[in-house]
Amino acid sequence: MSAVSRRAGRFSAGRAEEAQRRLGALVEIRELPSFPPRVVAGVDVHYEGSRACAAVAFLEYASLRELKTTTALSYSPLDYFPGFLAFKEAPAIFKALERCEKPDVLLVNGHGVCHPRGCGLATHVGVVEKVPTIGVALGPLAGARPGSFAKIERGQSSLYVSVGNLITLEQAEKVVRRLLAPESKLPLPLYLAHRAARLAARSRG
């Protein structure tokens, strides 16, 4: 890794793995208190150089009506390392989540418990924020625990759905299937969050 192109900072893989095992042990796999959920949201982060912009897009589950979007500009602290996405994206996500109410369930662009240490980005966010989360990724992660995800085949691509926190895999898959949109590989809330984060990073950067 070249010192100029990779911002590793004080990142220590050993300490990060320990944190992931600690958070992963706190995951609670259980049914949502109320199903189907009323309000769902998706969160995504867009990067412009060293700046980061997180967006949370809210939808009414029954109607798929867009409710609102919350964004937050922040600083991108770290490059991406496989297995450690949360240490790059979670800080920006936390800042955006501070600015809005919690949805009944939050979709996150990344894996949940389908992760070598049972703590992908969706789990990291769900455990820290104590909010139900679903991990949605376009590809598998090497070393992930077998049987910890549902694979949704979608023509060219596939979706890997896993529990983030406070939901069951069965409910997570139902929610994702309901939110699939023809205009995007990702479910609607993540598609909207993705677009909102990019727009906000450009207009408010």
Where on the chain is the footprint of DNA (CB under 7 A)? 44-48, 79-80, 82-86, 88, 109-111, 115, 120-122, 135, 137-142, 198
CB of 87 to DNA, least distance (A): 8
Q: Which is nearer to DNA, 38 or 202 (CB)?
A: 202
CB of 138 to DNA, least distance (A): 4
CB of 95 to DNA, least distance (A): 17
Q: Which is nearer to DNA, 2 or 34 (CB)?
A: 2
- What is the spatial distance between Cα 46 and Cα 149, in angstroms, rounded to a whole number? 25
Give the C-alpha distances (Å, rounded to integers) separating 49 from 9, 46, 78, 94. Answer: 16, 10, 12, 20
CB of 98 to DNA, least distance (A): 21
Q: Which is nearer to DNA, 100 or 199 (CB)?
A: 199
Q: Which is nearer to DNA, 20 or 31 (CB)?
A: 20
CB of 68 to DNA, least distance (A): 22
Q: Do 128 and 62 meet the contact criterion of CB atoms below 8 Å apart?
A: no
Q: Which is nearer to DNA, 99 or 143 (CB)?
A: 143
How many CA atoms, within 13 angstroms, populate the side-chain half-sphere of residue 163? 21
- What is the spatial distance between Cα 189 and Cα 181, in angstroms, rounded to a whole number? 9
